[in-house]
């Protein structure tokens, strides 16, 4: 028998996926994280669920879901949610937002605080921090960024602040020299954020659907871009109205290019292209 044939016959069989496992998992994910798992993702989701069940040495996906439901504080909830989060991001994505932020920051009094509430692997909060360092006088005092995400792996990567030169392409060359260290040896082709930028940012894991947000300050601006599209309208409205409670008067909310919340709440008023102001 060829080595290829042997590898096929020795591949571990994935646990059984039941008829209703996808729908059950979708309900659980929505309840836990607010994420709507569309039917078009069924095949991907069922394979993901089967792989998670196999990692726990279970024979059926149903057993995996039973474990989660019976153990709300299980460590396996973390990997369950992580498996369905999407971490598509880039430095200075939707570039016009950073021009608006720079102008706004110059017009506000300190302390000046920004919350990147779906910060993924860090490109967004580091772009915010660079913008603030360039636009605020004496940015080392009274200028802060809170960066949160539900995905624990993404937050760990964001804290590390290491990226390939390819991913750092959108960063202006001047900023690369000022705010990043270039890797050498084994890390050639990589860059790492310098401490003067990382020290402006507090990273934390946060679920926007949690009953309590571990936030003890008011924000001048909140970035919540391309995140609400994964929530239903009721969840979007709830989160928007909670944002309003942690914003300073006249604060700005930055959203994604495909998101429109004009008719969901009176807490925010559209000010410009995908920028809302707190009423």
Question: Which residues of the chain have a pLDDT value below 50?
Answer: 1-11
42 marked among binding-site residues: no
> Strand, helix or coil at 252?
strand
Q: Where in the chain are all domains bearing CATH 3.40.50.150? A: 96-278
* CATH tag, 96-278: 3.40.50.150
pLDDT tens, position by position, 68-113: 899 988 888 888 887 887 767 899 999 999 999 999 999 999 999 9
Q: Would you state the CATH architecture of domain 3-82?
A: Orthogonal Bundle (1.10)
207 marked among binding-site residues: yes
Token couple for 63: 């057993």
208 marked among binding-site residues: yes
Confidence (pTM): 0.79
Return the DSSP state at 186: G
By CB neighbour count within 10 A (0-12 exposed, 13-18 middle, 19+ buried), where does 60 fall?
middle
252 marked among binding-site residues: no
Let me know how many helices (H) and strands (E) the chain has, helices first: 11, 10
93 marked among binding-site residues: yes
165 marked among binding-site residues: no
225 marked among binding-site residues: yes
pLDDT over 70 for what percent of the chain?
95
According to the model, what pLDDT value does residue 8 have?
43
Does residue 28 contact residue 40 with C-beta atoms inside 8 Å? no
Q: Where in the chain are all domains bearing CATH 1.10.155.10? A: 3-82
- Secondary structure E strands in 125-256: 143-149, 162-164, 180-182, 190-193, 201-205, 219-224, 247-255
Q: Are strands 190-193 and 219-224 parallel, antiparallel or unpaired?
A: unpaired
Distance CA 42, CA 21 (A): 10
């Amino acid at each position: 028998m060829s080595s290829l044939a042997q590898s096929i016959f020795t591949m571990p069989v994935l646990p059984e996926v039941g008829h209703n496992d996808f729908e059950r998992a979708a309900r659980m994910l929505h309840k836990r994280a607010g994420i709507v798992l569309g039917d078009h993702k069924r095949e991907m989701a069922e394979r993901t669920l089967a792989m998670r069940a196999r990692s726990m040495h279970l024979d059926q996906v149903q057993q995996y879901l039973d474990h989660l439901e019976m153990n709300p504080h299980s460590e396996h909830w973390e990997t369950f949610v992580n498996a369905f989060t999407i971490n598509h991001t880039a430095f200075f994505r939707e570039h016009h937002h950073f021009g608006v932020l720079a102008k706004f920051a110059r017009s506000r009094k300190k302390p000046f605080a920004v919350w990147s509430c779906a910060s993924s692997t860090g490109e967004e909060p580091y772009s915010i921090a660079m913008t603030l360092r360039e636009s605020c006088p004496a940015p080392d005092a009274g200028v802060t960024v809170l960066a949160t995400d539900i995905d624990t792996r993404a937050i760990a990567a964001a804290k590390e602040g290491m990226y390939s030169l390819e991913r750092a392409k959108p960063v202006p060359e001047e900023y690369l020299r000022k705010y990043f260290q270039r890797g050498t040896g084994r890390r050639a082709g990589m860059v790492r954020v310098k401490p003067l930028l990382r020290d402006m940012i507090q990273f934390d894991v946060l679920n926007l659907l949690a009953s309590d947000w571990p936030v003890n300050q008011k924000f001048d601006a909140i970035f919540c871009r391309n995140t609400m599209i994964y929530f239903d309208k009721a969840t979007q409205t709830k989160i928007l109205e909670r944002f309003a409670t942690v914003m300073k008067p006249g604060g700005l909310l930055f959203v994604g290019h495909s998101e429109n919340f004009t008719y969901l709440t009176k807490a925010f008023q559209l000010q410009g292209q995908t920028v809302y102001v707190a009423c």
